[in-house]
């Protein structure tokens, strides 16, 4: 591996770790409790959570493959740092991805999830959309 490749991987990993910490700080006090309420209301049934619970004016859930793959999308960027103009780089969307991973890890600590950024407003999309796979 070339030194430049190693530095790119290392910097990417350290940025993801920074985003994870930032994400936890952002969602732990207000967003996480809301998701815990929704999770409890639907008895932890992801099919119902993503087809019924995650449907409002600002966000929408969708079941892609029952029991395995889900989608969560937001009509507006929900990042407070983007909203107030502190951040505008599409890389900031990694923070949102990390917040979803964190919330899922708190809802189901014994489960593992993959979260992929499908599209975001900062990347030119009309919505922020994340694909969630339960392993």
Going from N- to C-terminal start, the domains of the chain cover 3-134
Q: Rg of the Cα trace of the chain?
A: 15
Lowest mean pLDDT among 34-48, 52-66, 83-97, 112-126: 83-97
pTM: 0.83
Reply yes or no on whether the pLDDT at 4 is more than 80: no
Question: Band of the pLDDT at 23, cuts 50, 70, 90?
Answer: very high
Decide: 100 and 115 in contact? Cβ < 8 Å.
Answer: yes
Confirm or reject CATH 3.30.1380 for domain 3-134, answering yes or no: yes
Question: Band of the pLDDT at 128, cuts 50, 70, 90?
Answer: very high
Question: Band of the pLDDT at 17, cuts 50, 70, 90?
Answer: low
Tens of pLDDT, residue by residue over 96-122, are 999 999 999 999 999 999 999 999 999
Helix then strand count (H, E) for the chain reads 5, 4
Tens of pLDDT, residue by residue over 73-102, are 999 888 888 888 888 888 889 999 999 999
Section 49-53 average pLDDT: 94
**What pLDDT shows up at residue 43?**
97
């Amino acid at each position: 591996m070339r030194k430049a490749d190693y530095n790119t991987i290392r910097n990417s990993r350290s940025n993801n770790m920074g985003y994870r910490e930032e994400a936890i700080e952002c969602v732990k006090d207000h967003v996480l409790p809301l998701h815990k309420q929704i999770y409890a209301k639907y008895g932890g049934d992801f099919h119902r959570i993503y087809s019924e619970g995650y449907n409002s004016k600002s966000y929408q859930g969708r079941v892609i493959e029952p029991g395995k793959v889900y989608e969560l999308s937001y009509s507006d960027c929900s990042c407070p740092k983007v909203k107030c103009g502190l951040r505008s780089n599409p890389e900031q969307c990694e923070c949102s991805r990390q917040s979803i991973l964190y919330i899922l890890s708190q809802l189901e600590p014994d489960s593992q999830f993959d979260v992929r950024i499908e599209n975001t407003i900062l990347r030119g999309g009309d919505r922020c959309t994340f694909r969630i796979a339960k392993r």
